[in-house]
Chain A
Amino acid sequence: RKEVEQDPGPFNVPEGATVAFNCTYSNSASQSFFWYRQDCRKEPKLLMSVYSSGNEDGRFTAQLNRASQYISLLIRDSKLSDSATYLCVVNQAGTALIFGKGTTLSVSS
Protein backbone atom coordinates (compact mmCIF):
# COMPACT_ATOMS: atom_id res chain seq x y z
CA ARG A 1 0.00 0.00 0.00
CA LYS A 2 1.37 3.41 -0.95
CA GLU A 3 2.04 5.81 1.88
CA VAL A 4 -0.02 8.58 0.36
CA GLU A 5 -2.88 7.89 -2.04
CA GLN A 6 -4.88 10.41 -4.00
CA ASP A 7 -7.81 10.51 -6.38
CA PRO A 8 -6.43 9.46 -9.76
CA GLY A 9 -7.96 12.31 -11.75
CA PRO A 10 -7.80 14.03 -14.10
CA PHE A 11 -10.51 16.48 -13.11
CA ASN A 12 -11.84 18.54 -15.99
CA VAL A 13 -14.09 21.36 -14.80
CA PRO A 14 -15.45 24.64 -16.18
CA GLU A 15 -14.48 27.99 -14.77
CA GLY A 16 -16.41 28.80 -11.63
CA ALA A 17 -16.87 25.19 -10.60
CA THR A 18 -16.15 23.81 -7.16
CA VAL A 19 -13.87 20.80 -7.07
CA ALA A 20 -12.70 18.57 -4.21
CA PHE A 21 -9.63 16.38 -3.96
CA ASN A 22 -9.20 13.57 -1.46
CA CYS A 23 -6.13 11.94 -0.03
CA THR A 24 -5.43 9.16 2.46
CA TYR A 25 -2.19 8.34 4.23
CA SER A 26 -1.12 5.06 5.74
CA ASN A 27 1.32 6.06 8.47
CA SER A 28 -0.49 7.10 11.62
CA ALA A 29 2.76 8.64 12.89
CA SER A 30 2.51 11.36 10.24
CA GLN A 31 2.60 14.70 11.97
CA SER A 32 2.23 17.43 9.41
CA PHE A 33 0.30 17.73 6.20
CA PHE A 34 0.38 19.93 3.16
CA TRP A 35 -1.03 20.50 -0.28
CA TYR A 36 1.53 21.42 -2.92
CA ARG A 37 0.88 22.54 -6.45
CA GLN A 38 3.04 21.44 -9.36
CA ASP A 39 2.84 22.95 -12.82
CA CYS A 40 4.04 20.96 -15.79
CA ARG A 41 7.80 20.42 -15.74
CA LYS A 42 8.22 22.69 -12.72
CA GLU A 43 9.12 22.19 -9.10
CA PRO A 44 6.33 21.79 -6.51
CA LYS A 45 5.27 24.88 -4.60
CA LEU A 46 3.47 25.01 -1.28
CA LEU A 47 -0.21 25.76 -1.63
CA MET A 48 -1.18 25.44 2.01
CA SER A 49 -0.57 23.55 5.20
CA VAL A 50 -3.39 21.43 6.58
CA TYR A 51 -4.42 21.65 10.22
CA SER A 52 -6.71 19.44 12.30
CA SER A 53 -9.14 22.29 12.79
CA GLY A 54 -9.37 22.84 9.05
CA ASN A 55 -8.11 25.97 7.39
CA GLU A 56 -9.05 28.26 4.57
CA ASP A 57 -7.02 30.49 2.28
CA GLY A 58 -9.21 32.46 -0.09
CA ARG A 59 -10.90 30.01 -2.44
CA PHE A 60 -9.03 27.04 -0.98
CA THR A 61 -10.13 25.02 2.03
CA ALA A 62 -8.18 22.12 3.52
CA GLN A 63 -9.46 19.57 5.99
CA LEU A 64 -7.71 16.87 8.01
CA ASN A 65 -9.27 13.88 9.74
CA ARG A 66 -6.58 12.14 11.77
CA ALA A 67 -8.86 9.31 12.87
CA SER A 68 -9.59 8.38 9.26
CA GLN A 69 -6.14 9.44 8.05
CA TYR A 70 -7.84 11.52 5.41
CA ILE A 71 -7.02 14.91 3.92
CA SER A 72 -9.06 17.00 1.53
CA LEU A 73 -8.73 20.13 -0.56
CA LEU A 74 -11.70 22.12 -1.81
CA ILE A 75 -11.32 24.74 -4.52
CA ARG A 76 -14.22 27.11 -5.03
CA ASP A 77 -14.87 29.32 -8.06
CA SER A 78 -12.18 27.61 -10.14
CA LYS A 79 -9.98 29.80 -12.33
CA LEU A 80 -8.11 28.89 -15.48
CA SER A 81 -4.91 29.52 -13.54
CA ASP A 82 -5.82 26.76 -11.08
CA SER A 83 -4.99 24.18 -13.76
CA ALA A 84 -2.11 22.16 -12.33
CA THR A 85 -1.33 18.97 -10.48
CA TYR A 86 -2.15 19.02 -6.77
CA LEU A 87 0.06 16.95 -4.52
CA CYS A 88 -0.98 15.66 -1.13
CA VAL A 89 2.07 15.61 1.15
CA VAL A 90 2.72 14.24 4.62
CA ASN A 91 5.67 14.53 6.95
CA GLN A 92 6.82 12.39 9.83
CA ALA A 93 9.26 13.46 12.49
CA GLY A 94 12.79 13.73 11.18
CA THR A 95 11.98 12.63 7.65
CA ALA A 96 11.51 14.15 4.27
CA LEU A 97 8.18 15.02 2.75
CA ILE A 98 6.29 12.07 1.31
CA PHE A 99 4.29 12.86 -1.80
CA GLY A 100 1.16 11.43 -3.28
CA LYS A 101 1.03 10.80 -7.00
CA GLY A 102 -0.93 13.96 -7.55
CA THR A 103 -4.28 14.81 -9.03
CA THR A 104 -4.42 16.78 -12.24
CA LEU A 105 -6.94 19.60 -12.53
CA SER A 106 -7.84 21.17 -15.83
CA VAL A 107 -10.10 24.23 -15.74
CA SER A 108 -11.61 25.30 -19.03
CA SER A 109 -13.45 28.42 -20.15
Chain B
Amino acid sequence: KNEVEQSPQNLTAQEGEFITINCSYSVGISALHWLQQHPGGGIVSLFMLSSGKKKHGRLIATINIQEKHSSLHITASHPRDSAVYICAVRSRVNTDKLIFGTGTRLQVFP
Protein backbone atom coordinates (compact mmCIF):
# COMPACT_ATOMS: atom_id res chain seq x y z
CA LYS B 1 0.00 0.00 0.00
CA ASN B 2 1.38 3.41 -0.96
CA GLU B 3 2.08 5.83 1.87
CA VAL B 4 0.19 8.50 -0.09
CA GLU B 5 -3.06 7.56 -1.81
CA GLN B 6 -5.09 9.79 -4.08
CA SER B 7 -8.64 9.45 -5.32
CA PRO B 8 -9.98 9.40 -7.87
CA GLN B 9 -7.22 8.33 -10.26
CA ASN B 10 -9.08 9.83 -13.20
CA LEU B 11 -11.72 12.51 -13.24
CA THR B 12 -13.72 14.11 -16.02
CA ALA B 13 -15.88 17.17 -15.57
CA GLN B 14 -17.89 19.69 -17.51
CA GLU B 15 -16.72 23.27 -17.51
CA GLY B 16 -18.07 25.09 -14.48
CA GLU B 17 -18.33 22.05 -12.21
CA PHE B 18 -16.95 21.97 -8.67
CA ILE B 19 -14.15 19.43 -8.39
CA THR B 20 -12.69 17.64 -5.38
CA ILE B 21 -9.53 15.54 -5.32
CA ASN B 22 -8.67 13.61 -2.18
CA CYS B 23 -5.37 12.61 -0.63
CA SER B 24 -4.83 10.26 2.31
CA TYR B 25 -1.47 9.47 3.87
CA SER B 26 -0.25 7.04 6.45
CA VAL B 27 2.90 8.69 7.80
CA GLY B 28 3.44 11.56 10.19
CA ILE B 29 4.09 14.65 8.15
CA SER B 30 5.58 18.09 8.52
CA ALA B 31 3.89 19.42 5.36
CA LEU B 32 1.70 18.41 2.45
CA HIS B 33 2.03 19.75 -1.09
CA TRP B 34 -0.42 19.95 -3.93
CA LEU B 35 1.27 20.05 -7.33
CA GLN B 36 -0.04 20.48 -10.87
CA GLN B 37 1.48 19.00 -14.01
CA HIS B 38 0.15 19.69 -17.49
CA PRO B 39 0.70 16.99 -20.15
CA GLY B 40 4.36 16.84 -21.11
CA GLY B 41 5.12 19.76 -18.84
CA GLY B 42 6.93 20.63 -15.67
CA ILE B 43 5.44 20.74 -12.20
CA VAL B 44 3.88 23.79 -10.59
CA SER B 45 3.54 24.02 -6.83
CA LEU B 46 -0.01 25.00 -5.95
CA PHE B 47 -0.03 24.81 -2.15
CA MET B 48 2.04 23.77 0.81
CA LEU B 49 -0.05 23.04 3.91
CA SER B 50 0.67 22.00 7.44
CA SER B 51 -2.76 22.82 8.90
CA GLY B 52 -6.12 24.34 8.06
CA LYS B 53 -7.02 25.73 4.71
CA LYS B 54 -5.47 27.80 1.92
CA LYS B 55 -7.12 29.53 -1.02
CA HIS B 56 -5.64 30.86 -4.23
CA GLY B 57 -8.05 32.06 -6.88
CA ARG B 58 -10.39 29.20 -7.73
CA LEU B 59 -8.29 26.66 -5.85
CA ILE B 60 -8.82 25.69 -2.23
CA ALA B 61 -6.77 23.18 -0.27
CA THR B 62 -7.66 21.79 3.13
CA ILE B 63 -5.90 19.43 5.48
CA ASN B 64 -7.04 17.46 8.52
CA ILE B 65 -3.93 16.35 10.39
CA GLN B 66 -5.81 14.08 12.81
CA GLU B 67 -7.49 12.20 9.97
CA LYS B 68 -4.38 12.31 7.75
CA HIS B 69 -6.40 13.61 4.86
CA SER B 70 -6.28 16.54 2.48
CA SER B 71 -8.56 17.77 -0.28
CA LEU B 72 -7.99 20.00 -3.27
CA HIS B 73 -11.06 21.80 -4.57
CA ILE B 74 -11.44 23.62 -7.86
CA THR B 75 -14.42 25.93 -8.17
CA ALA B 76 -15.89 26.87 -11.55
CA SER B 77 -13.61 24.45 -13.39
CA HIS B 78 -12.24 25.38 -16.80
CA PRO B 79 -10.65 23.33 -19.59
CA ARG B 80 -7.28 24.91 -18.77
CA ASP B 81 -7.48 23.16 -15.38
CA SER B 82 -7.01 19.86 -17.21
CA ALA B 83 -3.80 18.42 -15.79
CA VAL B 84 -2.47 15.83 -13.38
CA TYR B 85 -2.77 16.89 -9.75
CA ILE B 86 -0.25 15.36 -7.40
CA CYS B 87 -0.33 15.20 -3.63
CA ALA B 88 3.08 14.91 -1.96
CA VAL B 89 4.00 14.82 1.72
CA ARG B 90 7.15 15.55 3.62
CA SER B 91 7.44 13.01 6.40
CA ARG B 92 8.59 14.03 9.86
CA VAL B 93 11.22 11.29 9.78
CA ASN B 94 12.85 11.91 6.39
CA THR B 95 12.42 15.61 6.01
CA ASP B 96 14.73 15.85 3.01
CA LYS B 97 12.37 14.23 0.51
CA LEU B 98 8.80 14.24 -0.71
CA ILE B 99 6.63 11.13 -0.86
CA PHE B 100 4.46 11.42 -3.94
CA GLY B 101 0.96 10.17 -4.55
CA THR B 102 0.14 8.54 -7.87
CA GLY B 103 -1.67 11.61 -9.17
CA THR B 104 -5.19 12.38 -10.33
CA ARG B 105 -5.69 13.01 -14.02
CA LEU B 106 -8.36 15.69 -14.51
CA GLN B 107 -10.02 16.48 -17.81
CA VAL B 108 -12.45 19.38 -18.02
CA PHE B 109 -14.57 19.55 -21.14
CA PRO B 110 -16.14 22.74 -22.52
Q: Do A and B come from one complex?
A: no
* Interface residues of B, Cβ cutoff 8 Å to A: none
* Interface residues of A, Cβ cutoff 8 Å to B: none
